[in-house]
Amino acid sequence: MTYLFNNPANFADELIEGFVAAHRHQIQWVDGGVMRRQRAKTGQVVVVIGGGSGHYPAFGGFVGLGLAHGAAMGNIFAAPSAQQICHVVQAVDAGGGILFCYGNYAGDVLNFNQAQERLRIQGIDVRTVVVTDDVASASVIERHKRRGIAGTLPVFKAAAIAADAGKSLDEVFRIATEANDRVCSLGVAFSGCTLPGANKPLFEVMNGKMEVGMGIHGEPGLYRIDSLTADGVAEMLVDKLLSEVPQAVSDISGARVGVILNGLGAVKYEELFVVYRKIEQLLSAHGLIIVEPVVDELITSFDMAGISLTLFWLNEELEQTWIAAADTPAFHRGGIVDTAHSIANDLEVKGAAEKLLVKPSAADSQAAAKIVWLALEAAADAIRAQQEYLGHLDAIAGDGDHGLGMQRGLAAAVDAAKTVLNAQAGAGTLLIMSGDAWSNRAGGTSGMLWGVILRNLGNALGDDARPNSAIVAAGVASALQAVIDLGKAQPGDKTLVDVLYPFSTALTDGATKGLSLAEAWTAAAEIAGQSAEATKNLTPKIGRARPHANKSLGNPDPGAVSMALVIDAAGRIIRKHCD
């Protein structure tokens, strides 16, 4: 379990602060994550990686000479927000373009894609390589759906070495893509992990059993079997990975491979070496030539007991990136000297965050802004009261942090709303800036979607007049469409869309009938509550909960429940202050 923490909501921020303090000669803090202490050469490509915290050394531990230039670091098991990612890019950008590289998880894909769109509008050329090395998470035919686990390291390294060599963005993208095509991994787990502040593991594996292919957030694997000996585990991992040799490798006899044996958190190094002993024997017996193997903890899951094996099938070009020197807080290879790069300036980097100007608005819109602020406060209270329940629902088919993420996001939204309200802004600006604060603080898929919801609602309300039921209904409809466009969820997929869709429909219907905002919202909120409860009869079809479909059946979706809680809380304020 996790023993050392203060407030679990601040755990990620505090670990980043301590991480930077311990490695100041290699990295430095930047709003949203960390960056190399040394600046990239002017005009070169830079590599930005990222993901949720709780997997150290991934992802901040891979920032340094010979590896990534910067990493966006999200909350525990939650993707970094698009705003965090943009801040990291603005700090490390050297003018030659950006390559995003990260593991294939829904929240990371959504937030990095949103950041990519924002940066391209600013004139920054951005490409993306999503790592898909986990063979347990999808078939070869659907390789694009596979998760990214320890195979992220050789892909990150291939991209970074190419970038530091001065190659073009097209070439860096090509090399990283080929590295991803040539890497495959498989893991086993003997136990779950316990998040900071939790009193029991996020998921459990029965004593004497092992889960083959379990993901780093508890996603189920291929099957559960009786635990094997160290040699038995090695044989199973090697056999499975050798059944998926890349098409570019015509004959494995004489093929050269980089090998990673990764510990997931609780397995000790002595145990890893016992397993690697057999892996080396097996691969050599097949005629493979092992190049610079790594036996280490590279991508972990707190105290999860488990290991993963990665094979990186080399060609001449990729072998040079694999054996190249590197010096980061968590990965060292060879000797590296860098005197050409200037040392980054702390004050310059820390000032990279965006600053938005707020203008006073019309009196009616200011009055509406105060109601929105009160509604956000009421929603925060409602979520706080149900945080443990939401976490329980999320742990059934996810990583158990939904309640905590919602609380973090709403707290940030309330603080931003208060600041904007004091600046005499209108309801539209207040919603937009509150949504940005929510997204930035909460991260993950949920944080990003709630940011989109508030931003679209804010755009509809504007700052010129007191909104009526028709304006609010149009804003909710716009938010719904944006959520569907970004998240790709449809009604019936067991997500917050299963509440937002019927709520929007009912709200529009009430507005069309000429009901007041209070009347229309109240009627629609009742439908939202019923719809949230009805999600217990659905099975998830997208996102991290999809592989846990059977476990999820009979329990409502946490995102749907929290959506209904927010709608209900806002309704109480609307009935009190609106006609």
Query: Contact at 8 Å (CB) between 122 and 141?
Result: no
DSSP string, 5-59: -S-GGGHHHHHHHHHHHHTTTTEEEETTEEEESBPPPTT--EEEEEEEESBTTBT
Structure tokens at 60: 């901040």
What is the C-alpha separation between 425 and 364, in angstroms, rounded?
11
What per-residue string of b and e applies to 419-438 under the rule 16 or more CB within 10 Å gives b? ebbebbbbbbbbbbbbbbbb
The single residue of 23, 55, 87, 217 carrying the catalytic annotation is: 217
What is the C-alpha separation between 473 and 476, in angstroms, rounded?
5
Looking up tokens 């190249």 gives: 324
Known catalytic membership, residue 25: no
First to last CA, the chain: 51
**Tally of CB atoms within 10 A around 231:** 15
**Tally of CB atoms within 10 A around 290:** 14
What is the C-alpha separation between 335 and 352, in angstroms, rounded?
32
Beta bridge partners of 307: 188, 263
DSSP string, 134-191: BTTSS-STTGGG----TTHHHHHHHHHHHHHTT--HHHHHHHHHHHHHTEEEEEEESS
Nearest alpha-carbon partner for 287 in 234, 249, 236: 249
Nearest alpha-carbon partner for 328 in 57, 94, 85, 87: 57
SS3 464: coil
Which residues are tagged catalytic? 217
